[in-house]
Amino acid sequence: MKIIIVDDDCFICESLKTILQTDPEIEVAAVGTSGEEAVELYESACPDIMLMDIRMGGISGLDAGEQILRKHPDAKLLFLTTFSDNEYIIKALSIGAKGYLIKQNADAIAPALKAVMTGQSVFGGEVVAKLPTFINEQVKPNLSGYNINEREMEIIKQVAKGLNNKEIADVLYLSEGTVRNYLSVILEKLELRDRTQLAVFYYKTF
């Protein structure tokens, strides 16, 4: 796979390049140090995946990613950053990024790239859990227009809190299989791809 690395710290760029190129499946086609460069490099190099920081000089990685995805909806963007701010995570999810990793374990980056390459999303549980948890249990959201019943709404709320299927099953006294079935129906009704998009749907809608 051909990737581009964009980070405003040149040392990080070169370190990542050195580490990743030890994997025979990964080719680092270019490196950049700003959001503007990210947009230009994507056009010139047409990478399989762009690995990008968020806070950089000039436009941010998120703004650059939004520009890229507006023109190339199938672009695969993986954010690698030290920042786990809720607003950054939500923006990354909402623009259609394929992953959001916190800079902690360099060994996890290559597997994440390979997962994204196969069509998976690599938002870790710790990132999804950073989504706002201020869910007002006293207010019943207006579900008209979404064809979502109350039980399905409860499932959506638990997904938005970052719970996995087993945890949701325990909370709602259901089997894991029932939770999986509910999720499949919910995603189909809302025309969403995965539970990450479902969490974003909840916070943007309610």
Structure tokens at 179: 């939770």
Structural domain boundaries enclosing 94: 2-127
186 and 92 in one domain?
no
> Vertex 86, ends 5 and 68: CA angle to 5°?
35
Q: At which residue do the structure tokens 């299989």 appear?
A: 177
> How many C-beta atoms lie closer than 10 Å to residue 71's C-beta?
10
**Within a domain: residue 188?**
yes
pTM score, whole prediction: 0.65
How crowded is the C-beta side of 27, counted as CA atoms within 13 Å?
Answer: 7
Residue-wise pLDDT tens digits, 109-141: 899 999 899 888 887 666 666 655 433 443 445
119 and 195 in one domain?
no
Residue-wise pLDDT tens digits, 42-62: 999 999 999 999 988 789 999
Residue-wise pLDDT tens digits, 130-189: 655 433 443 445 555 778 888 999 999 888 888 889 999 999 999 999 999 999 999 988
How crowded is the C-beta side of 73, counted as CA atoms within 13 Å?
Answer: 0
